[in-house]
Amino acid sequence: MYQQSTLSPALLTKALFRAVEQLKLAAELPAMLGAQPEEIAQLQSGARLLDPQRQEWEEALKIVGLFRTIIEVLGNVERAKAWLGTANDVLGGRPVDLLVTQDAELVHRYLKSVRKHELRMPPPHRREH
């Protein structure tokens, strides 16, 4: 995961919006970041940057870390988006839904465990032709 000392507010803000855009999580961003939609609009427009002294900084680090981990584990953005939107028996729901609740940390821990090979990611569903 990124370290606070190695990231500028501009870089983390840019990385956050890149991750959210690629994973199609724009609608979930206010809840994930713990910010009001107006604050998200300010960040997106460049009117302000993420503040390392606010909780939004830590949440943005988690989101960017989630993006990096999910791409590492699943290999590409399309598989990552599909996984986020698919019910997961281990997690007890769709990861995308859990990311906007107090259970978001379960998703992060699950992906870290998969990355460390403590768990196995289920194979993608194959269509029969």
Mean pLDDT score, 48-52: 96
Q: Hey, which residues does 93 pair with through a beta bridge?
A: 88
Task: State the pLDDT at residue 1.
Answer: 47
Predicted model pTM: 0.83
- Cβ pair 23, 70 in contact under 8 A: yes
Task: Identify the band that residue 40 occupies on the pLDDT scale cut at 50, 70 and 90.
Answer: very high
Could you tell me the residue ranges of all domains in the chain? 8-115
Query: What is the band of 120 on the pLDDT scale with cuts at 50, 70, 90?
Result: low
Query: Is the separation of the CB atoms in 99 and 32 below 8 Å?
Result: yes
